Chains A and B, each alone.
Chain A
C-alpha cells in the first residue's frame, strides 16, 4: 500500500496512530521511553531534594528567599493550556481535519514559546542576582532539574515545528499520523513533569 494514500474523514481509521504495524511499534517504544524519562526526572528530583538549600557556609540564597510565585503561576497556566490545545489538535487529527490540527498545533507552539521565554527570563534574573550554576550544590541541582525540563520543552517545540513544516503539503496519512500523535504525548509528558516541578521546587520552596 502506498504511504501517501489519500484518506477522507469517512475512510480514516478510528485509531490512526496504531492502525499500522509501524504505528504500533512506535507507540509501544514511545511509552517505554516515557517510563524511562520518569526515572531520569526522578533522579534529578531526588538530587534536588537532597541538596535543597545546601551549599558553602554563608550562602545567601535559599529557596524561600529566591522563588516568586506569580511568575511560576503564569508559567504553569501557560503550559497547562498548551497541553489542552494539543488535545484539541489530536481531536482534529482523529477527525482527519488537517488544517484544524495544524492550527491547534500552532497555538500549542506559541504557548510553549511563551513558557520558554518566561523560563529564560527567570534564569537570567537569578543569574543577575548572583545565583549562578556554580554558586552552590543547591543552585546546580536546581538548574539541572528545571533546565532539563526546559530542554525537553525546546525539543518538544522543535519536534512540533518540524512535523508541521515537513507535512504542511502532505496532509494527514498513515505515515505521519503516528508521528503527530507521539509528539502530542511527549508534550503532555512535559506538562506532567512540570506539575511536579511547580509543586516540589516552587511551592514547597516558597514555604521553606
Chain B
C-alpha cells in the first residue's frame, strides 16, 4: 500500500531524453563542486595571506554562505520542484539559528 506506484511505460525516445537530461544535470553538479573548491581555496588563501581581520571575517563568512547555498540547492536538490515545504523548514531553522548566535555573542560575556 504505502509502496504503491504507478507503472511507468516509457518509449525509447522518452527514456533516452531523460537519461540525457540527468547527464546534463550531473555536469551542472560538477560545476557546483568546482565552485565550492574554488570558494574554499579563496577562504584559506585570504587567511594565509594575513589581511586585516575586518576584511577577512565578513568575506569568509560570505564565502561559507555561498557554499552552503550551492550544497542545499544543487547537491541536496532544493532547487527542484516539490521542495517548497523543505525550503520553509530550512529557512525557519536558519532564522532560529541566527537568533541563537546573535543572542549568545551579544548577551553572554565573561
Give chain A's interface residues, CB within 8 Å of chain B: 1, 3, 9-14, 18-22, 25, 28, 31-32, 34-39, 41-43, 45-47, 49-51, 54, 69, 73, 76-77, 80, 83-84, 87-88, 91, 94-95, 137, 174-175, 185, 188-189, 191-192, 195-196, 198-200, 203-204, 206-208
Question: How many A-B contacts if CB must be within 8 Å?
Answer: 156
- CB–CB A77/B97 < 8 A: no
B18: chain A residues within 8 A (beta carbon):
14
Closest to A3 in B: B3
Q: How far is the CA of A54 from the CA of B109 in the complex (A)?
A: 10
A39: chain B residues within 8 A (beta carbon):
93, 96-97, 100
Q: How far is the CA of A3 from the CA of B2 in the complex (A)?
A: 9
Q: Could you list some 25 contacts between A and B, CB below 8 A? A: A20-B3, A20-B4, A21-B1, A28-B85, A31-B90, A34-B90, A37-B93, A41-B97, A42-B97, A43-B100, A43-B104, A50-B109, A69-B48, A76-B40, A80-B33, A80-B37, A84-B75, A95-B22, A189-B76, A196-B64, A198-B40, A200-B61, A203-B44, A203-B47, A207-B47
- CB–CB B3/A38 < 8 A: no
Q: A interface, by DSSP: helix, strand, loop or mixed?
A: helix
B7: chain A residues within 8 A (beta carbon):
11
- CB–CB B8/A80 < 8 A: no
Q: How far is the CA of A144 from the CA of B1 in the complex (A)?
A: 43
Q: B interface, by DSSP: helix, strand, loop or mixed?
A: helix
A46: chain B residues within 8 A (beta carbon):
100-101, 103-105
Q: How far is the CA of A200 from the CA of B63 in the complex (A)?
A: 12
B68: chain A residues within 8 A (beta carbon):
192, 195-196
- Taken residue by residue from 27 to 66, chain B's Cβ proximity to chain A (1 for < 8 Å, 0 otherwise) reads as 0011001001100100110011010010011001101100
Q: How far is the CA of A42 from the CA of B95 in the complex (A)?
A: 10
- CB–CB B108/A50 < 8 A: yes
Q: Which of A19, A32, A38, A195 contacts B97 (CB 8 A)?
A: A38
- Chain B min CB distance to A141 (Å): 11
- Chain A min CB distance to B99 (Å): 8
Closest to B101 in A: A46
- CB–CB A77/B40 < 8 A: yes
- CB–CB B90/A35 < 8 A: yes
Q: How far is the CA of A199 from the CA of B101 in the complex (A)?
A: 15
Q: How far is the CA of A21 from the CA of B5 in the complex (A)?
A: 9
- CB–CB A1/B44 < 8 A: no
- CB–CB A203/B60 < 8 A: yes
B60: chain A residues within 8 A (beta carbon):
199, 203-204
- Chain A min CB distance to B9 (Å): 7
- CB–CB A73/B44 < 8 A: yes
B75: chain A residues within 8 A (beta carbon):
83-84, 87, 188, 191
- Chain A min CB distance to B108 (Å): 4
